[in-house]
Structure 1
Amino acid sequence: MTSTTNLATGLTAGHRERLMRVAREVSFDTGTRLFEEGRHADRFWIVRTGTVVLDLHVPGRRAAVIESLGNGELVGWSWHFPPYVWQLGAEAVSPVRAHEFDAEAVRAMCARDPEFGRAIADWVGRVVAHRLHASRVRLLDLYAPYGSGGAL
């Protein structure tokens, strides 16, 4: 768990409280696909318990697991940027309880309150940067002749 993907350190207490007002509790059984790469991104989650893995489709191979997410971490960022299409896939690898958010409602909140919108955009942007780095390292580990080399 990193500070960039964790809700507790990603947003101020006031912004967290405001975001949580529109959350609904959901649960997923082991093996449930939360979303598929290339499909419409209309919601996102913050994990309460359990583990969700992010994966990347690799033609001719099994999907590459990019990262595992747990308590307090943001699952999904594609809802924040047009054209709102998932860039990765996600699957529950254990029973998961999470807070689910309607993307359109959160984007509307961001539009109504520029300060809140900037805080959400900053948090989601840090998550994107973290996931891009994690994707690069994982793909180098899997497919580069000498792996990532650990010197990134």
Structure 2
Amino acid sequence: MTSATRLLTGLPADRGDMLMRLSRHVFFPQDERIFEEGSQADTFWIIHTGTVALDLYIPGRRRVTVETLGVGDLLGWSWLFPPHQWHFGAEAFSPVRAHEFDAAAVRSLCEDDPVLGYALTRTVAQILGLRLEAARTKLLDHYMVHGGDGL
């Protein structure tokens, strides 16, 4: 099950439709930086086509890809939790088409509809847990392969 499938099926059916009405279609060409770690998280996306690499910058080294997202995946969760700054960076690994959501509008909708707010927060938190575990595993694998010198 993809993140977006998990995101939308974690919501009551009518609330998923409400959320999707707030989206707009966007395109990112291959190699475009979508967002940078530490920058303002004011949007999020559900990937329709293509792949996106989530990365983490290692000071004095380089970016390390911690996960690759694809069709149906949720791109971005930092928009939901203060201070609304990206914890990772993201780059289009291939041409990407996605549904883009304005974070402030979605947060406002969640404030007005506590059922949606709770369901969305719970579901994004579950996705976040999976993402953090994937990042942890990837970084541990990278560390082991490079004997601690690769980071």
TM-score with structure 2 length normalisation? 0.90
Which runs of 5 or more structure 2 residues have no equivalent in the other structure? none
- Give the match for residue 4 of structure 2: 7
Give the SS at the match of 1:81: coil
Output the CA distance in 2 between the equivalents of 1:14 and 1:130: 26
Deviations 1:20-51 (A, max 9, x none): 00000000000111100011100000000000
- Give the match for residue 150 of structure 1: none
TM-score with structure 1 length normalisation? 0.89
Equivalent pairs counted in the alignment come to 144
- Give the match for residue 27 of structure 1: 27
The letter for the 2-side match of 1:60 is G
Output the CA distance in 1 between the equivalents of 2:145 and 2:31: 31
Question: Percent identity over the alignment?
Answer: 51
Q: Cα RMSD between the aligned structures?
A: 1.6
Using the TM superposition, give the Cα deviation of residue 77 of structure 1 relative to its aligned residue in structure 2, in angstroms: 0.4
Give the SS at the match of 2:40: coil
Q: State whether residues 7 and 16 of structure 1, in contact with CA within 8 Å, keep that contact through their aligned partners in structure 2.
A: no
Using the TM superposition, give the Cα deviation of residue 14 of structure 1 relative to its aligned residue in structure 2, in angstroms: 2.6
Give the SS at the match of 1:66: strand
Using the TM superposition, give the Cα deviation of residue 132 of structure 1 relative to its aligned residue in structure 2, in angstroms: 0.8
Output the CA distance in 2 between the equivalents of 1:6 and 1:39: 23
Deviations 1:38-84 (A, max 9, x none): 11100000000000110001112221101111111100000001110
Query: Residues 30 and 146 of structure 1: is their aligned pair in 2 closer, same or farther, counting only changes over 3 Å?
Result: closer
